[in-house]
Amino acid sequence: MPGFELFGDLERKEVNDVLDNGVLMRYGFDGMRNGHWKSKELESALQNTFQANHVQLVSSGTAAVSVALASAGVGAGDEVIMPTFTFVASFEAIMLLGAIPVLVDIDDTLGLNPEAVKAAITPKTKAVMVVQMCGSMANMTALQDICKENNLLLVEDACQAIGGTFNGKPLGSIGDLGCFSFDFVKTITCGEGGAVVTNNKEYYLNADHYSDHGHDHVGNDRGAETHPFLGYNFRISELHAAVGLAQVKRLPEFIALQKKNFSILKEALSEIPEVTFRTVPEGGEESYAFFNFFLPDAETTRGVIKEFQQNGVDACWNYFDNNWHYIRKWDHLKDLKSLFPITEEVKKGLEYLQTKTFEKSDHYISRNISCLIKLSWTEAEVKDRAAKMVAAIKQSL
């Protein structure tokens, strides 16, 4: 991760196909295309990758979450339970629909804590959105059981976890709906892009129409298409899809590289008793896009980060002090800083953020270090990095 590190002839070939025929839009212009339908080809390839019946490409991972929720009828006043550790896009995508994000604690998987989810369910709860952060997963069996018992949608935001599996099933294909991002820093990239994954035909058709102004996509004359319901523009372009089509063909190669580099780092740090690793639920396999570990306390963790920086160990973070991925510094959400008026229903629904604390999440995030696994590292570079990491941690301890 990320796939742009290994751009090559296959990506250039797919993009040049689009430039040669000149049709950058995924719909229409049938006569000009010379048989090239990159978005359709990528959707078909992703169906195989995700072992899913339906895939709808969209413009981003954020769009994928909004489209997925909308396709299942989530909207104004509905509550969507989500984790404190994610990307800001998670609550943005919920609020875009007029729904209310209900943030709850994580556990040592770095994903949703099932007990916290149970405690947050109200009559307004419509969906539970599990975010498979940093290449791995939450306790999916427990979350599936909770959603089944309470008749709730289970939505997977697997934007950071393409290639991970649970009980042999690809992450993103386990819930009612799955969401993926193919932005510039994902394991496979389109530059910008995303996908909604589902086995539910109704949700798929809704996503297909909703993401393109409500077009029903019936027939070969775009101007004659009807609009069964209101929609918006979340389309991907053919250029973006072309890059993704090349990249998805290389996903097994990318995952193998990630696993190799991840394993070298984990083996090295395993010799340090004070280092512990995130829990991967039984039956789960990470995508190996990130290497995550815990240290004994927040002070030690900050010290290790400084040692890493001073010794040339890049691409490692402690999310406790991060502005994008953890509730602690999301002041724009807590204070509802918006360019336009927020509905009273959403304002009231988010009042809990003024007083709510997340001690369990703090306990894990303050002690966590997350390191990006690069595809371009040589084995010698990974081993050198591992040695530097071990030395820096021992120095701080």
Residue 130: per-residue pLDDT: 98
186: annotated active-site residue: yes
Residue where a domain terminates, one of 230, 250, 270: 250
Whether the full predicted model's pTM is greater than 0.75, yes or no, is: yes
Residue where a domain terminates, one of 231, 250, 269: 250
pLDDT tens profile 202-252: 999 999 999 999 999 999 999 999 999 999 999 999 999 999 999 999 999
Q: Do 334 and 195 belong together in one domain? A: no
Q: Do 96 and 195 belong together in one domain? A: yes
> What CATH number does residue 327 fall under?
3.90.1150.10
Q: Do 256 and 243 belong together in one domain? A: no
Q: Do 31 and 134 belong together in one domain? A: yes
Q: Do 260 and 201 belong together in one domain? A: no
Q: Which stretches in the chain have pLDDT values below 70?
A: none
Residue 353: per-residue pLDDT: 98
Q: Do 116 and 62 belong together in one domain? A: yes
pLDDT tens profile 137-191: 999 999 999 999 999 999 999 999 999 999 999 999 999 999 999 999 999 999 9
Q: Do 328 and 243 belong together in one domain? A: no
Kindly report the three-state secondary structure assignment for every residue of the chain: CCHHHHCCHHHHHHHHHHHHHCCCECCCCHHHCCCCCHHHHHHHHHHHHHCCCEEEEECCHHHHHHHHHHHCCCCCCCEEEEECECCCHHHHHHHHCCCEEEEECECCCCCECHHHHHHHCCCCEEEEEEECHHHCCCCHHHHHHHHHHHCCEEEEECCCCCCCEECCEECCCCCCEEEEECECCCCCCCECCEEEEECCHHHHHHHHHHCECCCCCCCCCHHHCCCCCCCCECCCEHHHHHHHHHHHHCHHHHHHHHHHHHHHHHHHHCCCCCCEECCCCCCEECCCCEEEEECCCHHHHHHHHHHHHHCCCCCEECHHHCCCCEHHHCHHHHCCCCCCCCCHHHHHHCHHHHCCCCHHHHHHHCCEEEEECCCCCCHHHHHHHHHHHHHHHHHHC
Residue 105: per-residue pLDDT: 98
Q: Do 331 and 236 belong together in one domain? A: no
Residue 372: per-residue pLDDT: 98
Residue 74: per-residue pLDDT: 98
Q: Do 184 and 258 belong together in one domain? A: no
Kindly name the residue from 13, 38, 124, 186 that is annotated as catalytic: 186
Residue 129: per-residue pLDDT: 98
- If one counts the domains in the chain, the total is 2
The residue segments making up the domain with residue 201 are 3-250
Q: Do 83 and 132 belong together in one domain? A: yes
Q: Do 179 and 51 belong together in one domain? A: yes
Q: Do 149 and 290 belong together in one domain? A: no
Residue where a domain terminates, one of 227, 250, 273: 250
Residue 38: per-residue pLDDT: 98
